[in-house]
Structure 1
Amino acid sequence: MGSKYTKRYTEEFKREAIALVDSTGKTVTAVARELGISSKSLRGWYRQAKADWGESAPGEPTSAEREELKRLRRQNAEQAKTIEILRKAAVFFAKESDR
């Protein structure tokens, strides 16, 4: 849900850009400049690819781990809403039984 000006790149384009960095020995910034993309974007893709290949710094999550984390956070938010509804219902019924 980025801004309407955010460009979307295909996975194939990202893979090829990452391969250019690896095969040419050029810096990420130089390759990004040649391709006409943001060096920040290419750097992020490159880091994520390294993490997926197991070549990243310790503690850097892989794409699969990131997806699982997103799923778990969504599930956690849904459960928190359910708990809040149940808490309110318990308070309501406790007041009703006192009458």
Structure 2
Amino acid sequence: MPKAFPPEFRRDVVAVARKGEAPLSQIAKDFGISESCLHRWLKIADVDDGIRPGVTSTESAELRELRKRNKLLEQENEILRRAAAFFAKEIAPK
């Protein structure tokens, strides 16, 4: 997988592209990225800036973390459920 570009670099490229002083293909070539990458960055920036609807980068990261936390809690809950069942058998009258 290619190394991700720093956020500052992305912001600078998007800012230059939004000025509209040159075609996107030329801007992408000048910065050494693909044109499709530039289009994707512009789309993400538009969502983050509220220009177009969608889930922002911040919301997406938060959602990812919440899903990870939820999975961990479900695993912990399952362990406790099994432990409770095990110990219930141990103390049950015979």
Shift of 1:8: 2.5
Residue 6 of structure 2 corresponds to residue 21 of structure 1: no
TM-score, length-normalised on structure 2? 0.79
Structure 1 CA distance for aligned equivalents of residues 84 and 38 of structure 2 = 52
Shift of 1:30: 4.0
Alpha-carbon deviations, 1:11-37, whole Å to 9, x = none? Answer: 22111111121112523x442233221
One-letter code of the match for 2:35? S
Structure 2 CA distance for aligned equivalents of residues 66 and 43 of structure 1 = 19
Structure 2 CA distance for aligned equivalents of residues 67 and 85 of structure 1 = 27
Alignment of 1:34-73 (within 5 A): 34-56=30-52, 58=53, 60-73=54-67
One-letter code of the match for 2:51? E
Alignment of 1:78-93 (within 5 A): 78-93=72-87
One-letter code of the match for 1:32? A
Residue 61 of structure 2 corresponds to residue 77 of structure 1: no
Structure 1 CA distance for aligned equivalents of residues 77 and 26 of structure 2 = 51
Alpha-carbon deviations, 1:38-82, whole Å to 9, x = none? Answer: 3333222211111111011x3x11122112212211211111111
Please identify runs of 4+ aligned residues in structure 1 that moved more than 4 A: none
Stretches of structure 1 lacking an aligned partner (at least 5 in a row) = none
Q: Which has the larger radius of gyration?
A: 2
Structure 1 CA distance for aligned equivalents of residues 89 and 37 of structure 2 = 55
The count of aligned residue pairs is 92
